[in-house]
């Protein structure tokens, strides 16, 4: 193992400085939205997009009230996407019913599925996370689905949260 000489360190510093001189400042682009009222009437086997009502933070207009189920990439790049839901059956349901929370990209179902089976009573919590490359204009939705025959499910108030951040 050799000793890292002072001149080598200075050379490394100069190479790093040259790499970053003239680069634009890194801008973080992201949004964090939630649903603050119940979203009811989610029927068996129907893929349903969560409708978001509250913007916690949106640095780049990723959320638009006219399309409240979507976060839309404004810049091409890699994005970290995260979503969570609290699901409750308002009728039917019961122990062992499958609930799914996953992402839909540009209207097409995508990976990142969070699957859970309900307890006899109570709330089911699902989360999904994904790192994905998006083009400018691509949109992402957080969707839910369940397998409870004849059951109706709801997303609890403050029970859906959705975030998307561009990785610089």
pLDDT tens-digit series, residues 38-94: 999 998 889 999 999 999 999 999 999 999 999 999 999 999 999 999 988 887 776
Instruction: Check whether 6 has a pLDDT greater than 90.
Output: no
Query: Which of 120, 118, 134, 132 has its CA nearest to residue 85?
Result: 118
C-alpha–C-alpha distance, residues 107 and 89, integer Å: 26
Q: Which pLDDT score, from 0 to 100, does residue 96 have?
A: 75
Q: In the chain, what are the domains? A: 27-167 (2.60.120.40)
**Most confident of the ranges 57-66, 101-110, 148-157:** 57-66
Which DSSP symbol is given to 133?
Answer: E
pLDDT value at residue 4: 47
117 burial level (CB within 10 Å; 0-12, 13-18, 19+): exposed
Rounded CA separation 45/108 (Å): 16
Model pLDDT, residue 100: 85
Report the pLDDT averaged over residues 90-105. Answer: 81
The answer to whether residue 162 scores a pLDDT higher than 70 is yes
Q: What is the pTM of this model?
A: 0.79
């Amino acid at each position: 193992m050799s000793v890292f000489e002072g001149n080598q360190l200075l050379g490394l510093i100069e190479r790093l400085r040259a790499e970053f001189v003239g680069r634009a400042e890194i801008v973080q682009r992201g949004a964090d939205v939630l649903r603050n009222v119940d979203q009811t009437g989610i029927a068996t086997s129907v893929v349903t997009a969560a409708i978001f009502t509250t913007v916690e933070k949106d640095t780049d207009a990723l959320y638009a009230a006219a399309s409240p189920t979507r976060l839309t990439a404004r810049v091409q790049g890699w994005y970290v996407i995260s979503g969570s839901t609290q699901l409750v059956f308002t009728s039917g349901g019961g122990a062992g019913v499958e609930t799914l929370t996953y992402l839909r990209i540009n209207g097409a179902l995508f990976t990142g599925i969070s699957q859970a089976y309900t307890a006899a009573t109570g709330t089911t919590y699902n989360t999904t996370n994904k790192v994905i490359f998006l083009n400018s204009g691509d949109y992402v939705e957080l969707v839910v689905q369940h397998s409870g025959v004849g059951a109706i499910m709801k997303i609890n108030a403050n029970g859906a949260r959705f975030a998307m951040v561009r990785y610089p």
